[in-house]
Amino acid sequence: MLILLIAIPGAYAFGRLEFKGRKGLFYAIVMIVLVPEVMLIVPVAQIVRWLHLFDTIAGLWLALLIGGMPIAIWILRDNFMRLPPNAEEAAMVYGCTQFSAFRKVVLPLATPAIITVAFLSFLSAWTEFLFTNMLSTPGGGWTAIVVLFSLMNPDHSPNWPLLMAASFIVSLPPIVFYGLIRRTLQEALNF
């Protein structure tokens, strides 16, 4: 997932590295969580149009990244801060570089949090309605929820059997994904 490729190094930097302005920058990123999603639609739409990504999957990815990145960084930063620093230092004593210690020690210890963020990001993207509805047309790529909404016919009563079957199908991937990672999520909660 694209969000993990960006959030993991960012959260690691905020949680484990010392640099000037670290706290201020972190809190500025996390403050985006406090902004209602509907207030972000105009700036995000302007960015998507400026990049000529309107009605594309890449444009939706960008919108979902902007919305999901602060929460992902927040969760992963907290997890990286709680990991014991001596495990990483011990790996470096035995010849690992900082990057290899991160890859061989920190990432395996952070796996439950990473899987949790992956699951939350998937659920957020799977149920995304506002950005998808505003930034794309039927041919440009819709999320499952917008397709489900499009089955509601405003002119006459909806086709209930079709709507219920589509609702069942749309609900299956999150249920299956949760079933596969349930134990890892429980480990993350017990950390």
Q: pLDDT digit string (tens) for 111-159?
A: 888 998 999 999 988 888 888 888 887 766 778 888 888 888 777 777 8
pTM for this model (two decimals): 0.84
Half-sphere exposure of 94 (CA within 13 A, CB side): 9
Half-sphere exposure of 133 (CA within 13 A, CB side): 11
**Sign of torsion over alpha carbons 100, 106, 108, 110:** negative
pLDDT digits (tens, 9 = 90+) for 28-82: 988 888 888 888 888 888 998 999 988 888 888 888 888 889 999 999 999 998 8
Q: Which of 6-10, 95-99, 115-119, 128-132 has the lowest mean pLDDT?
A: 95-99
Which DSSP symbol is given to 102?
I
SS3 content of the chain, % helix, strand, coil (to 5): 75, 0, 25
